[in-house]
Amino acid sequence: MMERNRLALLCPMSSPTPLPPAAPDGADPGPLSGAAYGAHLLLSALVPPVLFGLIAARAVANGFRQAGLMGEQFIQGQRLPHLPGPRRE
């Protein structure tokens, strides 16, 4: 018995924890079930905007990266616009 208590103190996950008793069928599960349902509903409602925000942030970052590359190529002279010079007659 002493060894089991020492083991429980050293490694708390090794000792089994009893589960709370389940509510009988038809019994009121309590006020927390509504709160848990609301939390799940809120989480479900927030997932699409977060994913859309991540996709939009990636697109904006890609656009800035492309603009930076274009500016770099412009400064290096690789993509200079063709400017007509004075005509020789």
Q: Check pLDDT > 60 for residue 80.
A: yes
What pLDDT sits at residue 47? 94
Residue 87 lies in a domain: no
Number of domains in the chain: 1
Residue 88 lies in a domain: no
Residue 52 lies in a domain: yes
Q: What is the overall mean pLDDT for the chain?
A: 76
If we measure between CA atoms, which residue out of 39, 17, 41, 21 comes closest to residue 29? 21
Contacts of 73 (CB under 8 A, 6+ apart): 79
pTM above 0.75, yes or no: no
Report pLDDT digits (tens) over 32-52: 566 777 888 888 999 999 999
Q: How far, rounded to the nearest angstrom, does the alpha carbon of residue 14 sit from its chain's CA centroid?
A: 32
Measured CA angle at 20 (ends 31, 8), to 5 deg: 135
Residue 59 lies in a domain: yes
